[in-house]
A and B are shown apart, each in its own frame.
Chain A
Amino acid sequence: MTRARAFTSDGSEPPLLDVAVIGGGPAGCSAAIRLASGGLDVAIVNDASGTQSNFDVLLTSVSAQALRETPTLELAVHQAIETIRLRIPGRPLRTIDDVGAFSLGRGVLNDALFFAAMSLGVRLRADTATAIDRAEWGFEIHSAEKRTPLRARHLILAGGGGGLGASPAADGTDTDDGARRALAVAARCAGESSPGDTGMEMVFVPPDATALRTPALSVWAVPGPAEGTFTVRVAVSNYEGEDHEALLAHGLDALRAEAPGFGELRPIGPLVAGELDTGYSRLRLEDAEGLLVGDAAGLVNPFTGEGLSYALESGALAAAAVLAHRDKPAAAQHAYVRRIDFLFAGNVEASRRAVRRDHLAWRFLSDAAESDHPFLAKGRRAILLPEGLRGITDPLIAQLDSQLQALAGPFLVACDEVMVSTIRDDWPFLARMAVSGAGRSDERLRPALLMLGAALAAGGELDVRCATLGGGLELAMMGALAFLGAAPDVQEQRGLDWSQVSIVVGGDFLLGQAARLIATFGPTVSWAFAEWLADLATLRAQRIAGCPGVPADATSAALYEFPARLGAELAGADATTVEALRDFGSECGRAFLHVDEVLALTGRRTRLDTTLEFLAANRLATDGIAPDEAARTAEQVTAARAATAQAEQQGRAAVERLSGSPGRELLEAFLVGVCGPAQV
């Protein structure tokens, strides 16, 4: 076993470390590991007195990926989590697939990270930090036991939670809404019966429809690596009580009431409790002495109370910022704050408006539970599983040659920045939805990439406007998606029906912002944008009415025709080229629908995040595709595959009509990306 490196003890001036990390939890270790592998001299200041209870924690697909990429980390035994069963009293069960998460013991995870850090040469000061002095050269960290302070150029503050996102004390960064309190308790439990699969339970008890500050409860039951055990974790917001045992009992009751098979569940491990700090704000990070990571930054999902994935990720991002600005602590902090504020847009935020928005999101979760509408299903995932922070670039890009990669990669990142900065202040959850990948097997199809390919194939060049219009385009496509298919009426309580409202208001908002971006940065394509939208609405209305000659894939063809056309118009292409590109886009759209049919028919997660039932009931699927499982036939799958192949072939033919240029390669890669999943 590796031993921690010691500090000089001969009384000489202590060395100037590159980085001091206060806090040896997941966030701190995640940062330290990356810093040490980047060649920096790092020390962790950690008070080892804290006892660790080995309850199980959930690692989302993003965290799981982050851990796989962590140097020298040996992952201990863990349990795969593939599905989440979302249960809201009085609402139908919602199953979220393709989760790609896993669970493991909190202590096991901590130890693995800690020893990975030590094996990379990270120093350890087993002591409690008591004061920090800022000096010209960096920071001086005083601690309780050691007389010599620690000196470091950079400082990372990871002294947040006690395993639950628990924040020991407010640090003067209270927001104007100090009254919001959130609490979490957890304990490992066991029972006689258990579902025994790779699914976890999530029970939500939303706040009152008419009152903004009533308690909202979320209960998880995460199966652990040990057979028949579950860690039950209860998080509550706007809570006034103090009794942790009572809160756990309350959560267990809610679980038993909603989820079958948990009747006998009882705690077998000690109860862990702590206050949840969901008070992230950009200001808080900017004002901090050093880089705040994890729970210390208030990075906790207010709905699920989940903070571990944020901890791992923010630690990694802090390390990346320091590595990029080794000699400039201020620049590192600035870069870190910018990045984190971008990536965590809308997950966590503290303000008066946030109270209203949290309430709104709770109502959304509850009301929209009735529906498989793609817009609502994607919204649900974006709130519960803010994944995909790493999935920002498209896997398609990996298949391109290096020259195109260098072009397309930064372009897509710039598109994301445009999208997020356009909508995040007003509707952060939409921002999350806009840039979120959607799970492990997600291949985020980027319409902006189609636009770029079309522009290049038409002989255009990539200029600054392109990313702005690419961002606008993707907002528009997402907005259009909101209006395809109906949400069910839900009217049981007073107030707005949030499934309906989210569709209308969210869709309008996205289309409105897109219209403005386009009118500002591409006025010459404003007309085309408006025409596209009118055509799309008309086609869809014809489809709903069952007009002959309007097949299901006409709408999806119209949807994807636009990015190609936009690229062509931006490049000022001639009529023949515009025609070829529009055909290409239409074929991509046809293929998109038929691939989703294949995915749905073969029981896989669709790109629209919806079900065959929804597609068929809303006439979004090809006629003859039966919504009920019993009527599904192998012929239907074959037909959907054949339709995909036909669209792919016609798409290729459209590319052949274009003159040779690097854009063609991009378009071909896009088409392959669209059609790929149908072959499996």
Chain B
Amino acid sequence: MSDATAEETGSVAFDPVAFAKQVSERIRSLTRSLGPELEPVVAGLVERPGKRLRSQLVAHCASLGEASSQKVVRAGAVVELLQVASLLHDDVVDQAETRRHAPSAHVAHGVESALLGGVACFALAGLEAAELGGPANRVTSRAVADLSRGEMLDVERAFDVELSAADYLAVVEGKTAPLFRVSCELGAVVAYLPTEVSRAVAAFGADLGVAFQVLDDCLDIEAAGTGKPAGRDMALGLLGAPVLCALQAADDRELADVLLSPEFDGSDMSQVCELVERHGGIAAARALAAERIERALDALEAVPAGPGRDRLEAIAQQLVGAPA
């Protein structure tokens, strides 16, 4: 119990490994209720988590105030469950065969079960958020509504080679930013942060989310040819930031023609990469991301200095500094 007391004061160094473990345990205890038919469908993503960036944001924001560690863990479970739900559904939409180095859930368990697994995770996140109380429930439901809208905007623009960078950022604000924003908001809610600090971390989270997506798009292009199925999204017509920036900069239709060609299936990305590079797509996209990181850091100025704020700043800076 002494740990919890220390955590409440924010005086102990944050242990990401221990926190991730607690979040996993909480998620497991929730998904067990899904029974032997559905639980295995979601277990893969629970047991092979990603970087857990979103739940870490919860913890860092919560550390700006006083929060019971139980609540922080539960709030962390909310955002990770939402992430699992959206991955399960996205993989069906994107026809992704693998996720985190294993067959994706719809490949292993069938499409309908994977979709039900996503619905169940979404529902479990809702249960957890409802138990965290009114404000947590409100911000979570808003994020869920925004995410579902963003998901739609994202597919709706398929094959739109004329999409401007600004319009694309609006799509990203819908599909990626809400989960980052709500992670910060939930941290703020469970730690009873004052309104202006809550707003600041929410703004930070939203900008961080946009930058995260844009940089992820850059990695897709940069990693092409290294074995990652980078061309998948492009084959589906879902063009990322570097490609859209290159399309806008180009004064001919060469890149557009390649991307719209009925034969293009994303397996050979060399021409796309070369054209994106030639038109400065990566550099332009990275500049967009840097701009968002700058804005995110600016938002943190309203947050009192301390280890919590330092950790948030570090996350933002690591993101842009990430090796290509």
Instruction: State the A residues within 8 Å of B (CB).
Output: 208-212, 353, 356-357, 360, 426-427, 480, 483, 485-487, 489, 491, 493-497, 500-501, 503-505, 507-509, 511-513, 515-516, 518-520, 523, 526-527, 529-534, 536-538, 540-542, 544-545, 547, 618
B41 — which chain A residues lie within 8 A by C-beta? Answer: 541
Q: Give chain B's interface residue range (CB within 8 Å of chain A).
A: 35 or more
Q: Does any Cβ of A come within 8 Å of B22's Cβ?
A: no
The 8 A CB mask of B75-105 against A (1 = contact, 0 = none) is: 0000000000000010011010000000000
Is B19's beta carbon under 8 Å from chain A?
no
The 8 A-B residue pairs whose C-beta atoms are closest, nearest first, are A512-B148, A530-B126, A519-B141, A533-B123, A534-B123, A516-B145, A527-B130, A537-B120
Q: Name the B residues within 8 Å of A494 (CB-CB).
A: 235-237, 262, 264-265
Please tell me if B52 contacts chain A, counting CB pairs below 8 Å. no
- Residues in chain B near residue A533, CB distance under 8 A: 119-120, 122-123, 126
- Which residues of A have CB within 8 Å of B295? none
**Whole-angstrom CA separation of A536 from B131 in the bound complex:** 20
Q: For window 32-62 of chain B, which residues contact chain A by CB distance below 8 Å? A: 33-35, 37-38, 41
Residues of A within 8 A of B117 (CB): 537, 541
Q: Is the CB of A530 within 8 A of B93?
A: no
A619 to chain B minimum Cβ distance, whole angstroms, is 10
Interchain CB contact under 8 A, A501 and B141: no
A-B CB contacts (within 8 Å), total count: 181
Would A538 and B37 count as touching, CB distance under 8 A? yes
User: How many angstroms from the CA of A208 to the CA of B37 in the assembled complex?
Assistant: 40
- The residue that A211 contacts in the complex, of B151, B153, B159, with Cβ under 8 A, is B159
Q: Are B159 and A212 in contact (CB under 8 A)?
A: yes
Tell me the smallest distance from the CB of A351 to a CB of chain B, in Å: 12
B92 and A530 contacting across the interface, CB-CB below 8 Å:
no
In the bound assembly, the distance between CA atoms of A527 and B140 in angstroms comes to 13
CB distance from B324 to the nearest CB of A (A): 29
Do the beta carbons of A527 and B131 come within 8 Å of each other? yes
Query: Does B156 sit at the interface, judged by CB under 8 A?
Result: yes
Q: A211-B260, A493-B262, A504-B93 are in contact. Are A537 and B160 (CB under 8 A)?
A: no
Indicate if B137 sits at the interface (CB-CB under 8 A).
yes
* Closest B residue, CB atoms, query A618: B112
In the complex, which residues of chain B have a beta carbon less than 8 angstroms from the beta carbon of A511? 119, 122, 144, 148
- 22 residue pairs of the A-B complex, CB under 8 angstroms, read A209-B159, A210-B262, A212-B159, A360-B158, A483-B119, A485-B112, A496-B237, A507-B115, A509-B148, A511-B144, A512-B145, A513-B148, A527-B127, A530-B129, A530-B130, A533-B126, A534-B34, A538-B35, A538-B37, A538-B38, A542-B37, A545-B37
Cβ A513 vs Cβ B38 within 8 A: no
| Secondary structure of the A contact surface, majority rule | helix
Give Cα A505–Cα B137 distance, bound, in whole angstroms: 22
How close is B46's CB to chain A, nearest CB, in angstroms?
15
Q: Which chain A residue lies CB-closest to B134? A: A523
B110 proximity list for chain A (CB < 8 A): 486, 544
User: In the assembled complex, how far is the CB of residue B154 from the closest CB belonging to chain A, in whole angstroms?
Assistant: 9
Q: Mark B130-155, 1 if CB is under 8 A from A, else 0.
A: 11001001101110111111011101
Interface residues of B (CB under 8 A from A): 33-35, 37-38, 41, 89, 92-93, 95, 110-113, 115-120, 122-127, 129-131, 134, 137-138, 140-142, 144-149, 151-153, 155-160, 235-237, 260-262, 264-265
Cα-based distance from A82 to B323 in the complex (angstroms): 64
Q: Is the CB of A487 within 8 A of B111?
A: yes
Q: Is the CB of A356 within 8 A of B156?
A: yes
Residue of B nearest to A510 (CB): B148
**Secondary structure class of chain B's binding surface, majority of residues:** helix
- Could you tell me the distance between the alpha carbons of A486 and B92 in the complex, rounded to whole angstroms? 12
Question: Given known contacts A496-B93, A508-B151, A523-B137, is B116 in contact with A540 (CB within 8 Å)?
Answer: yes
B253 to chain A, nearest CB (A): 12
Select which of B149, B156, B236 is within 8 A of A495 by beta carbon.
B236
A215 vs chain B, min Cβ distance (A): 16
In the complex, the answer to whether A516 meets B92 with C-beta atoms within 8 Å is no
Q: Which residues of B contact A504 (CB under 8 A)?
A: 89, 92-93, 115, 151
- A520, B35: Cβ atoms under 8 Å? no
User: Which residues of chain A have C-beta atoms less than 8 A from B157's C-beta?
Assistant: 356
With A512-B147, A520-B138: A537-B130 Cβ-Cβ less than 8 Å:
no
Report the minimum CB–CB distance from A525 to chain B (whole Å).
9
Q: Which residue of B lies closest to A545 (CB)?
A: B37
**Cross-chain contact A516 with B141 (CB below 8 angstroms):** yes
Specify which chain A residues have a CB less than 8 angstroms from the CB of B137 in the assembled complex. Answer: 519, 523, 526
The distance in angstroms between the C-alpha atoms of A507 and B122, with both chains bound, is 12
CA of A264 to CA of B192 in the docked complex: distance in angstroms? 77
Contacts A512-B149, A533-B123, A537-B123 hold; do A544 and B33 have CB atoms under 8 A apart? no
Q: How far is A499 from B220 in the complex, measured between Cα atoms in Å? A: 27
Are A426 and B152 in contact, CB atoms less than 8 angstroms apart?
yes
Known: A487-B111, A526-B130. A360 touches B156 (CB 8 A): yes
Residues of B within 8 A of A495 (CB): 158-159, 235-237
Residue of B nearest to A496 (CB): B236
B-chain residues with CB within 8 Å of residue A426 when the two chains form the complex: 149, 152-153
Do B160 and A526 touch across chains, with their CB atoms under 8 A apart?
A: no
Cβ–Cβ contact B131 & A534, under 8 A: no
Task: Report the minimum CB–CB distance from B174 to chain A (whole Å).
Answer: 10
* Bound-state Cα–Cα, A516 to B93, Å: 23
CA–CA, A210 to B147, complex, Å?
A: 25
Partner of B155, one of A209, A480, A501: A501
B243 to chain A, nearest CB (A): 14
A505, B237: Cβ atoms closer than 8 Å:
no
Interfacial chain B residues near A618, Cβ < 8 Å? 112
Q: Are A537 and B38 in contact (CB under 8 A)?
A: yes
Which chain A residues border B126 with CB–CB below 8 Å? 515, 526-527, 529-530, 533
Cβ–Cβ contact B127 & A515, under 8 A: no
